[in-house]
Structure 1
Amino acid sequence: MQNIWKILRITILASTFLTFTILVLFPTIFLASFPLIYIDDIRYEVFENPLIGSENLRLIIEVLTFSFKLSASTVLVDILLGIPLAFI
């Protein structure tokens, strides 16, 4: 009986590890390795494209600026509403 529980425990741990690897680690490794593998294509498209010049870089900077402004305003609203509500 104890041997069955040991096999069941190992099976559950192995399936959990396999699921975690497939759903979390593989996509993370793929996304992290993508810029390293295709660095020349990324450099060409963002910095050295002869047709549109630096339009992609300008768009990236514009989107990042918007993202930081949005996150700063969210933090400000959270602080303005959260601190008074914490004392109620």
Structure 2
Amino acid sequence: MGCVVVTLSPLLVDLFPGSTRQVDVEAATVGAMILALDQRWPGMGDRITDSRPAIRKHINVFVDGDRARLDTPLSPGAKVYIITAISGG
């Protein structure tokens, strides 16, 4: 397990006072990374994942440019982006 760099969407940062746009997290998978974020900022995990569990429809997680799932492995130094989808008509 190694440290990854997570960039959070501005919406998540606004919802969780004390959070930052970029944070280093020790995790081996995307799911473990989300648990670590939830431990730092309780409730953040519920904003990112649903009860199945899976990443919510309106949230996109990318690891080194590739779309990720909860079981996606993380390599030390990976760049992870958690982005909220923009919808409209």
TM-score, normalisation: structure 1: 0.21
- Larger strand percent: 2
TM-score, normalisation: structure 2: 0.20
Structure scoring higher RCO (CA < 8 A, sep ≥ 6) equals: 2
Q: Please tell me whether Structure 1 or Structure 2 has the larger radius of gyration of its CA atoms.
A: 1
